[in-house]
A and B are shown apart, each in its own frame.
Chain A
Amino acid sequence: QVQLQQWGAGLLKPSETLSLTCAVYGGSFTGYYWSWIRQSPGKGLEWIGEINHSGSTNYNPSLKSRVTISVDTSKNQFSLKLNSLTAADTALYYCARRWELFRYMDVWGKGTTVTVSS
């Protein structure tokens, strides 16, 4: 059964860069898109973007200028970088999986809380 394990720094300062990584265990890395989604009290669930094993990416236009999602197929991992952080980026960040042909997420990581504060 596929599991997603995620990690990264939880406390950052304004203007810094968020960096999170998600590892895929127990399943294939190909045939899927690997997503980042965040959840905050103010904005609810917000899709950030996604990547597949070939490195093809899709981003939320509202965040595109600040987001980079990358993949390391040798480790079955994918990563999120979000720069120029502000307090509005404080949220619970999830990694998740979707099939290449369908755009709903069927497997989710447990989430990483990221707080942006000076």
Chain B
Amino acid sequence: EIVMTQSPATLSVSPGERASLSCRASQSVSSNLAWYQQKPGQAPRLLIYGASTRATVIPARFSGSGSGTEFTLTISSLQSEDFAVYYCQQYNNWPPITFGQGTRLEIK
């Protein structure tokens, strides 16, 4: 089973600033990586798939990069609605599909 490790656990950033969230895989997952956003009381929402492709209606301020074992989700200019928990998920070696433990993005 591939273990996904996200860092940091919590990231404090001011609105309007840039945020970079990291995700590391225990072995290569090629570009088979997705990012999700989850707000309190809501289900996760797909942001990025294929490591760098934005899902439908996701704003351009969200971007994904990386391949192999190292991935980054960048939010270029944080809006108030972006403060949430973010998860990465690999789908290269399965079953099982596996998720990271999440990064909480909070207002500084």
Interface Cβ pair total, 8 Å cutoff:
53
Chain B residues in 8 Å Cβ range of A44:
87, 99-102
- In the complex, whether B62 has a CB less than 8 A from a CB of chain A is no
- In the complex, whether B55 has a CB less than 8 A from a CB of chain A is yes
Chain B count of residues within 8 A CB distance of the other chain: 22
* Contact flags B17-59 to A (C-beta < 8 A → 1, else 0): 0000000000000001010000000111110010000010000
B55, A106: Cβ atoms closer than 8 Å: yes
Q: Which of B42, B46, B95 has the most CB of A within 10 A?
A: B95
B95, A105: Cβ atoms closer than 8 Å: no
Chain B, residue nearest A108 (CB): B43
Chain A residues in 8 Å Cβ range of B49:
102, 104
Say how far B103's CB is from chain A's closest CB, in angstroms: 12
> Which residues of A approach B to under 8 Å, CB–CB?
44-47, 49, 58-62, 94, 96, 102-106, 108-111
Known pairs A44-B87, A58-B95, A103-B32. 16 more at Cβ < 8 A?
A44-B99, A44-B100, A44-B101, A44-B102, A45-B99, A47-B98, A49-B95, A60-B95, A60-B96, A61-B96, A96-B43, A104-B34, A104-B46, A104-B89, A104-B91, A108-B45
